[in-house]
Amino acid sequence: MILNFDFLFLLIDSVVQETSRVSSGVFMVRYITKDTWFKAVNSDKEFLMREGDRVALYPPAIHQDPEIFESPKVCLLKNILIRLATSFIIPI
């Protein structure tokens, strides 16, 4: 049996990415680079974020959005296979 190490590496990488998408819990802190007004999603309130202000972002919240990801709380083998299929042609 011949192992295709490129395929094996992509398989492992895809599993790690999908697992991280479902279970990661890291905050990212960024600085505002110029004064910006933000409108609240569920109201007419607006908030000024000034240049130099810090903002904490929680990327996993985006990964849990059902409008973006099908079954966002489930680690999907389909997502792993899609990543592999876009990198290699896999016989089905």
What ranges do the domains of the chain cover? 24-58, 63-92
CA distance readout (Å), 35 to 30, 32, 56: 14, 7, 16
Average pLDDT over residues 59-65: 74
Residue 45 has pLDDT above 70, yes or no: yes
Confirm whether pTM is higher than 0.85: no
Residue 44 has pLDDT above 50, yes or no: yes
- According to DSSP, the β-strands at 36-39 and 28-31 are unpaired
